[in-house]
A and B are shown apart, each in its own frame.
Chain A
Amino acid sequence: MLVKISVTVNGVSYTHEVEPRMMLVQYLRDVLRLTGTHVGCDTSSCGACNILINGTAAKSCTLLAVQADQCSLTTIEGIATDQTLHPVQEGFRECHGLQCGFCTPGMIVTAVDILNHNPHANEHEIREALEGNFCRCTGYHNIVKAVQYAADKMNSVNQGKKEAIA
């Protein structure tokens, strides 16, 4: 038995018939061929599969594709806009926040979510909020710096906007 789902992924609408047991990450990787979202475990522990579902970070390895029906999803492929890197992506590059790159998509998506909810997150808050994402390469030091870099950049842009409006 196949089930019909309709989703919007990175701004594009898709309708597919999927097996009810298909995980959302499989749908993204195998059906849509968006392979930037990775699978590092199968227990919701590592965060390599994190995507934004209706704007909030979630682990796509333990959600069924059918659960995402009618949802708007953003994967790592949709984080940059108009060929411009998101400040979080820029931060990861500027601060050497990645090495092998495998956990990076999940980290970046999570960091976007962190800063959307807490634009002025301090080191302690960033470390706590990254708790659901494993990185085995960086020791987290530069990932924390990357998120701080992005926060500073986003805040200064927002400040600029406020001043312009005022």
Chain B
Amino acid sequence: MSNINSFIGKSVKRVEDIRFITGRGNYTDDIVLQGQTYACFVRSPYGHAKVLNIDISEAKSMPGVVAIFTGADVAHINGVPCGWQVNFKNGDLMKEPKHPLLCTDRTRHAGDPVAIVIAESKGQAVDAAEAVQVDYEELSCVVDAAKATMPGAPLVHDDVPNNICFDWALGNPIAEVDEAISKSAHVTSLEFVNQRLVPNAIEPRSYNAAYDRTNDKYTLYTSSQNPHLIRLLMCAFVLGIPEHKVRVVSPDVGGGFGSKIFHYTEEALLTWASAKINRPVKWTSERTESFLLDAHGRDHITKADMGFDKDGKITALRVKTYANLGAYLSTFASCVPTYLHGTLMQGLYTTPKINIDVTGVFTNTTAVDAYRGAGRPEATYLLERLIELGAHELKIDPAEIRFRNFIPPFNGVDEPGYQTQVALQYDSGNYDGVLKLALEKLGYADLRKAQQEASKNGKLLGIGFSAYIEACGIAPSAIVGALGARAGLYEVGQIRVQPTGKVSVFTGAHSHGQGHETTFAQVVADKFGIPMEDVAIIHGDSDTVAFGMGTYGSRSLAVGGSALMLSIEKIIEKGKLIAAHKMEVSADDIEYNSGQFTVKGTNKSVAFGEVALTAYVPHVYPKDLEPGLDFSSFYDPKNFTYPFGVHIAVVEVDKETGKVTMKKFLTVDDVGNIINPMIVEGQIHGGVVQGIGQALFEGAEYNEHGQLTNASYMNYCMPRADDVTSIETYTQVTPCPHNPLGVKGAGEAGTIGSTPAVVNAVLDALWSGGHEVKDIPMPLTSERVWKAMQS
């Protein structure tokens, strides 16, 4: 019998959309609690300063003020922790200076908080915060990661020599790599900056904390990507409140892109304050606060050399990177430039010798942590810029040089995965396939001809490639534990079949735009063979969902979906016992298909709903079997997943002004099996435009005083609808061999692949006009491109 309830692989319209398109979403700032108060922070205006005195006397007596707390009030509380240990090359532990909830004697970046004012209304809180008098003595500061390590640079933390948090290396011994580089027929060298970005989820961070005196219990509503992780970090490491006394809820969350993974000081401070004042307290970030406080992304200064033999085969790769960590260590700051960046230096290529050396550095800037892609965009940018420049220098076609270097196809089933020089073992791949398909869809040969024609007519057309791989499905707990993670990275999936046969699904993953309420329901409804409307996905509440590690690193479906698959299996196995008893046969004779438990080879069957009812009304029921139909599973992945793909950008550069116009953007992504093609495509679109944003528009700019000079939407240039073009997306499918759904993850692919394709396209355009330019610093504004053409 064919299954009418077949949903996997179909572009099912999203379940969650109705509430969002009618204005019925429920974001943290929408929540108002009984007795609500509002918070406003007093923040340092300086990049680096000594706090000499704080006077709250005037502010305290202002209308509506409920309480004011300063650093002294919370000095006894721990700072927010870092979740990943990275060691120095000599084995020393990384430096972890305290990140206090409020500063006491020193502020270390613009926006660092010194006091919190709580009042009856938002307006009153703002008024009183303005009346708090703080005397500062401005200190000299440092914002550039490389300069910060030089002798005599101002120290961000007095006990961190040279501002170095860690130095770290991975790969083959440096002597072997040096030798391979020196023996190479050709060496392509590049020094460049992967500029700092501000993630800019459109919903500003928001928290609302309440203390329930009756039950001695706290509730924190938070715009977080991972409520359980916040509860764990806040309870165990900061406030010392037992976890069962804290409920953390992430309701609808308006985008994250990484910036809402981390445990922020405001979460702990508001939770603490709610008990002090015995009233709920809410704070929602203003946009400029988002710029100054939400963890930033990227900010690497890199020097890299790629060796080639005479045929364009890569012989070796040597990389030195300074990674700016900002003033404090954010939750995953230390692993982004190391284990999520250094481990990707193999790319898609057979490079035999690789060494990467990363120095993590404190500066007087906002903390830097995972932003969509997290380390992998930086790795891809580095590799794809080098190979494209190498091809140009060697006069080899950029597609051809990649074919010559690709790791041959492997499916990870008939043969083991591909062991890289930098710790990872890729699961399955067909890298030739994605590039071949991309060239075919692009009409590559014709486009090269068009480029020559354009050049004759005085126009600059450029074609840029990027071939990426990423490590997703984060992650096997044992592996990441050995690499320094201070958490397990499994996921939890609970399935409760209700007595009526309706299904409640509890997942530890969190959806903030990814559409889990649809994709996960597709998986469960499809596997049970029941209508999708019979399945509800519940997420984001630590009191409802047993546990969870949250959503980041393109992990939700690969890890969270796999956990659900384990629970689905358990439900069906138990259902078979119940059905077998009802039909008086052995459970071995039962098969489950399309919502029916059927006796093999007969038309005798019991429906899913009937089995569910029997499980809860067990009058005629197997002896020794527990009633109920409710299973929870923890899934710890066997390996990372490794999505990959090819992105191609076609641009036109205006010779007179340097303005870059996107003519075409084409992607071929291989994210393994696909549950909902519409949603995957949407993830690619969004990611690609963020990547184009980095290439052409965005960049956080600090001046020498530590001021973020473009801390608003008025002057931080994010792509708008008329800045970008439509995107042509294609997919290839190489299933993941080690998880039950064969999925790899699609959340970050767009961002990882796109940036170098755009920059390579602009350089290709300039090369076609005879401008021998090696690098233009991102973002490639008209001014920068124009200047590059003048040299």
Q: Mark A14-29, 1 if CB is under 8 A from B, else 0.
A: 0000010110001001
A40 CB to nearest B CB, Å: 4
Which 3 pairs between the two chains have the least Cβ-Cβ distance? A36-B23, A102-B254, A101-B20
A38-B22 CB under 8 A given contacts A45-B714, A99-B682: no
Q: In the complex, which residues 703-721 of chain B have their Cβ closer than 8 Å to any Cβ of chain A?
A: 712-714, 718-721
Q: Is the CB of B23 within 8 A of A94?
A: no
Nearest-neighbour CB distance to chain B for A147, whole angstroms, equals 10
Which of B14, B22, B203, B513 has the most CB atoms of chain A within a 10 A radius of its CB?
A: B22
Evaluate contact between B254 and A141: CB separation under 8 angstroms: no
Hey, which chain B residues are within 8 Å of A46, CB to CB?
202, 287, 713
Give A127 to B20 CA distance when docked, in angstroms.
22
A-B residue pairs in contact (CB < 8 Å), sample of 21: A35-B27, A36-B23, A36-B25, A40-B203, A40-B204, A43-B712, A77-B22, A92-B17, A94-B13, A99-B686, A100-B201, A101-B16, A101-B254, A102-B201, A108-B21, A124-B722, A126-B721, A127-B721, A134-B713, A137-B202, A140-B685
Residues from chain A with Cβ under 8 Å of B286 in the complex? 42
Residues of B whose CB lies within 8 Å of any CB of A are: 13-14, 16-27, 29-30, 32, 122-123, 200-204, 252-255, 257, 284, 286-288, 512-515, 678-679, 681-682, 685-690, 712-714, 718-722, 724, 726-727, 750
Given A89-B21, A93-B13, A99-B686: A38 and B722 within 8 A (CB)? Answer: no
- A34 to B19 Cα, complex, angstroms: 13
- B122 contacts across to A, CB distance below 8 A: 26
Residues of A within 8 A of B257 (CB): 136
A99→B722 contact, CB < 8 A:
no
Per-position binary interface string of chain A over residues 86-125, scored 1 when its CB falls under 8 Å from any chain B CB and 0 otherwise: 0001001110101111111100100000000000000110
Residues of B within 8 A of A37 (CB): 23
**Could you tell me if B201 and A101 are in contact, using CB atoms closer than 8 angstroms?**
no
Q: Count of A-B contacts with CB under 8 A? A: 179
Are the C-beta atoms of A38 and B203 separated by less than 8 Å? yes
Shortest CB distance A63–B (Å):
17
- Minimum Cβ distance to chain B for residue A24 (Å): 15
A45 B21 Cβ-Cβ under 8 A: no
Residues A77 and B718 in contact, CB atoms below 8 Å apart: no
A26 to B284, CA, bound (A): 13
Name A96's contact: one of B14, B512, B688, B750 (CB within 8 Å): B14
Knowing A99-B515, A136-B257 touch, does A39 contact B204 (C-beta < 8 A)? yes
Q: How near does chain B come to A111, taking the closest CB pair, in angstroms?
A: 11
Give the chain A neighbours of B255 by CB distance below 8 A.
99-100, 102, 136-137
- Complex CA distance for A21 and B121, rounded to whole angstroms: 13
Q: Which residues of A contact B686 (CB under 8 A)?
A: 99, 136-139
A60 within 8 A of B: no
Once bound together, how far apart are the Cα atoms of A126 and B18, in whole Å?
A: 23
- Nearest residue, chain B, Cβ from A76: B23
A45 near B22: Cβ-Cβ < 8 Å: no
Q: A142 on the interface (CB 8 Å rule)?
A: yes
Given A41-B712, A139-B686, the answer on whether A101 and B204 have CB atoms closer than 8 Å is no
- Is there contact, CB below 8 Å, between A142 and B722? no
- Other 13 A-B pairs with CB < 8 A, given A102-B27, A141-B689, A143-B721: A43-B714, A46-B202, A76-B21, A96-B13, A99-B515, A100-B253, A102-B201, A102-B255, A134-B720, A137-B682, A137-B686, A138-B686, A140-B720
- Specify which chain B residues have a CB less than 8 angstroms from the CB of A142 in the assembled complex: 682, 685
- Which residues does A use to contact B, with CB under 8 Å? 19, 21-22, 26, 29-30, 33-43, 45-46, 48, 75-77, 79-80, 85, 89, 92-94, 96, 98-105, 108, 123-124, 126-128, 130-131, 133-144
Q: Are A99 and B513 in contact (CB under 8 A)?
A: yes
Q: Quick check: A100 and B712 within 8 Å, CB to CB?
A: no
A30 to chain B, nearest CB (A): 8
Question: Contact at B254–A131, with CB atoms within 8 Å?
Answer: no
Alpha-carbon gap, A92 to B13, bound state (A):
10
Q: Within the assembled complex, what's the spacing in Å between the Cα atoms of A92 and B19?
A: 12
Docked complex Cα distance between A101 and B604 (Å): 46
B32 contact set on A, CB distance < 8 A: 30, 33
Give A104 to B713 CA distance when docked, in angstroms: 18
Q: Is the CB of A89 within 8 A of B22?
A: yes
Chain A residues positioned under 8 Å from B721 (CB to CB): 126-128, 130-131, 133, 135, 140, 143-144
In the bound complex, residues from chain B placing their C-beta under 8 Å from that of A76 are 21-23
List, in ascending order, chain A residues with CB within 8 A of B681's CB.
96
Whether the pair A131, B13 counts as a contact (CB closer than 8 A) is no
With both beta carbons as reference points, the residue of chain A lying nearest to B688 in the complex is identified as: A139
A133-B721, A144-B726 known; A98-B690 Cβ under 8 A: no
A96–chain B nearest beta-carbon distance, Å: 5
Q: Known contacts being A131-B720, A136-B686, A139-B727, is A101 close to B252, with CB within 8 Å?
A: yes
- Report the Cα distance A128→B122, complex, angstroms: 35
Bound Cα distance A136, B200 (Å) = 7
A44 to B731, CA, bound (A): 38
Scoring A22, A104, A130, A144 by chain B CB atoms within 10 A of each residue's CB, the highest score goes to A104
Let me know if A138 and B685 touch, CB within 8 A.
yes
Please measure, in the bound complex, the distance between the C-alpha atom of A123 and the C-alpha atom of B21, giving whole angstroms.
22
Task: State whether A139 touches B17 (Cβ < 8 A).
Answer: no
Residue of A nearest to B223 (CB): A102
Give Cα A120 to B148, complex, Å: 56
Q: Contact between A104 and B20 (Cβ–Cβ < 8 Å)?
A: yes
Across-interface contacts of B726 in A (CB, < 8 A): 123, 141, 144
| Structural contact, B688 and A98, CB atoms closer than 8 A | no
Contact A80 B200 (CB under 8 A): no
Chain A residue, CB-CB nearest to B712: A43
Shortest CB-to-CB span from B111 to chain A, Å, is 15
Q: How far is the CA of A42 from the CA of B290 in the complex (A)?
A: 12
Rounded to whole Å, the gap between the CB of B669 and the closest CB of chain A is 14
In the assembled complex, how far is the CB of residue B746 from the closest CB belonging to chain A, in whole angstroms? Answer: 12
The answer for the CA separation of A140 and B693 in the assembled complex, in Å, is 13
Whether the Cβ atoms of B513 and A42 lie closer than 8 Å is: no
Partner of B17, one of A34, A38, A80, A93: A93
A104–B203 CA distance with the chains assembled, in angstroms: 11
A102–B202 touching, CB < 8 Å:
yes
When distances are taken between beta carbons in the complex, the residues of chain A under 8 Å from B253 are 100
> Could you say which residues of chain B place their CB within 8 Å of the CB of A101?
16-17, 19-21, 25, 252, 254, 513
Known contacts A48-B202, A100-B512; is A139 also within 8 Å of B21 by CB? no
Closest B residue to A92 using CB positions: B21
Q: Which residues of A contact B724 (CB under 8 A)?
A: 139-140
CA distance A30 to B689 in the complex (A): 34
B288 contact set on A, CB distance < 8 A: 42
**Among A41, A80, A100, which residue has its beta carbon within 8 angstroms of that of B287?**
A41
Docked complex Cα distance between A26 and B204 (Å): 15
| A137 pairs with B513, CB closer than 8 A | yes
A91 to B254: give the CA distance in the assembly, Å: 20
Known A94-B13, A128-B722, A136-B257; contact A39-B22, beta-carbon cutoff 8 A: no
| B720 cross-chain contacts in A, Cβ below 8 A | 130-131, 133-134, 140
